[in-house]
Amino acid sequence: MDTLSEAYKGIPLNLGDIIPLDFSSPPPTLPDSHAWFQPSDDDCSFDDPASSMPIIDFLDPKATELIGLACEKWGAFQLKNHGIPLDVIQGTEEEVKRLFSLPTEQKLKALRSPGGASGYGRARISPFFPKSMWHEGFTIIGSSARDVKKIWPDDYARFCDRMENYEKEMKVLAERLTEMLFDMLKIPEEKRKWVVTSDISEVLQLNFFPSCPEPDRAMGLAPHTDTSILTIVQSPSTGLQLFKEGKGWINVHPHPNSLIVHLGDLLHIISNGRFCSPLHRVTLNETRKRYSIAYFYTPPVDYVLSPSLSGDNSPVALFRDVTVKEYHEIRAQKFGNSLSLVRI
C-alpha cells in the first residue's frame, strides 16, 4: 500500500530539493547554502526545567489524565514504560546507523524520485526554505524492500525485517494513544473505525544529522509541525526543540528509555484546536552525529477529518472538513500556511 505517494505525484520536486549535501566529505567550513544565521544573530533557546515537556509513565494510574493535560498544554510529552521491547529499539537504531554510514553513491541508488514519497533524500519541506538543512532522511512507506534492494541487493532482509517489526510495535502504541485521545474528544464510533484496521497510512522517517562545523549557524530540521495524528520519535540525544509561545525554543532532554510523542496537524483539526500540533525543529552539534526515527501515524488517505464539537472542545467548528489526502496536498503546496488554509 503506497497511497500517500499519490498525494505527492502531482506536485513533483526538483532534484536539487531532493539530493542532500555529500556529508561523507563535508566542507571544513559552513557553505553559504547551509548558513541560516549570522554569527551575531541571537537565536535564543531555553533550558528551563520549569517549562519542559512533561515526562509521563504509561504505567501511572493517572497516565490518561496526565496525557490529556500534556496534549492541551504542550501537544507533546515523553513517555516511559511504553512497552516497546528494548531489543526492537536497539535493532532499529543499529540499521539506521548502518544505512547512513554508507558511502554517498550507495545511498543515492535509493534516491526519492521527483514525484515520489519514499527513499533517500532531503526533508520534503526543503523547497519552502531559502537555505538547506544539515540533514539526510530516508522515508519508508509500506515495505522498505523496493528501495533497500537497490542499496543491498543481497543483504536487504535484516533491514526490512527490523523496520517492519518496529512499525508493528509503534502501530500498537499509536493505536492505544489515539483511542485514549479520541475518548477524551468524544469521537463517535463511526469516525474511529480506521484505528483498528490495517488500512492506515503509516510512515517511518529515518533522520541523520551529521556533526556540523558551525552548528549555531546551521539548521538540522527547519521549524515545522507534523502531518500526522501523532508522531512517535526515538532519539537518545539532544537536538530537538519545541516552540512555546511567550518563551521561545525549548530544548528537549530525552529521558533514558523514553519515546517522544508529538501531536500532528490532523489531530489539531479533529480536536477543533483543543490539542495543539507543536512547532519543532532540530539543532546540531560540532562533534556529535545525531540519529532519530520518527513514526507518523495517519488515517487512511480518504478519511474525512472533521472537528469534534463535543465535550471540552470549542462548540463552534474552527476548521472545515478535509480529507487526509487533500491536507497532504495542501501541505505539499503551501506548507506553513496549511492549518490556516483549512480554518473557517
Ligand X SMILES: C=C1C[C@]23C[C@@]1(O)CC[C@H]2[C@@]12CCC[C@@](C)(C(=O)O1)[C@H]2[C@@H]3C(=O)O
Ligand Y SMILES: O=C(O)CCC(=O)C(=O)O
Query: Which residues carry out catalysis?
Result: 290
227 binds ligand X (CB under 6 A): yes
| Cα distance between residue 340 and residue 330, in whole Å | 11
Cell numbers representing residue 122 in the block:
532531503
- Is 33 exposed, middle or buried, given 0-12, 13-18 or 19+ CB atoms closer than 10 A? exposed
Rounded to a whole number of angstroms, the minimum distance from the CB of residue 30 to ligand X is 21
DSSP secondary structure, 267-295, as one string: HHHHTTTSS----EEE---SS--EEEEEE
Show the site string, 266-305: x = touches ligand Y by CB under 6 A, - = not: --------------x-x---------x-x-----------
Q: From ligand Y, Fe ion, ligand X, none, which one binds at residue 30 (CB under 5 to 8 Å depending on kind)? A: none
- DSSP bridge partners of 294: 205, 233
CA distance 286 to 284: 7
Q: Quick one: which segment of 35-43, 89-97, 117-125, 317-325 binds ligand X (CB under 6 A)?
A: 117-125
Partner whose footprint covers residue 233, from ligand X, ligand Y, Fe ion, none (CB < 5 to 8 Å by kind) = ligand Y
- The number of C-alpha atoms within 13 Å of 2 and in the hemisphere containing its C-beta is 16
**Residue whose C-beta lies closest to ligand Y:** 292
Q: Say whether residue 207 binds ligand Y (CB under 6 A).
A: yes
**Closest separation between CB of residue 206 and Fe ion, Å?**
13
Residue whose CB is less far from ligand Y, 185 or 339: 339
Determine if 226 is a binding residue for Fe ion (CB under 5 A): yes
The residue range among 89-97, 113-121, 232-240, 321-329 that interacts with ligand Y, by the rule CB under 6 A, is: 232-240
Contacting ligand Y (CB under 6 A), which of 170, 218, 240, 263? 240
- Give, in order, the Cα–Cα distances in Å from 122 to each of 263, 298, 338: 23, 21, 20
Query: How far is the C-alpha of 249 from the C-alpha of 216, rounded, in Å?
Result: 14
Reduced to 3 states (helix: H, G, I; strand: E, B; else coil), residue 225 is coil
By the rule CB under 6 A, 226 interacts with ligand X: yes
Closest separation in Å from C-beta 309 to ligand X:
26
The least distance separating Fe ion from the CB of residue 341, rounded to whole angstroms, comes to 19
In this structure, what C-alpha cell is assigned to residue 225? Answer: 509541525
Looking at residue 60, the DSSP 8-state letter turns out to be S
Q: Minimum CB separation from ligand Y for residue 185, in Å?
A: 23
Helix, strand, or coil (residue 329): helix
CB of 328 closer than 8 Å to CB of 296: no
Residues that bind ligand X (CB under 6 A): 4, 117, 123-125, 137, 139, 203, 205, 221, 224, 226-227, 296, 298, 331
The contact set with ligand Y (CB under 6 A) reads 205, 207, 221, 226, 233, 235, 240, 280, 282, 292, 294
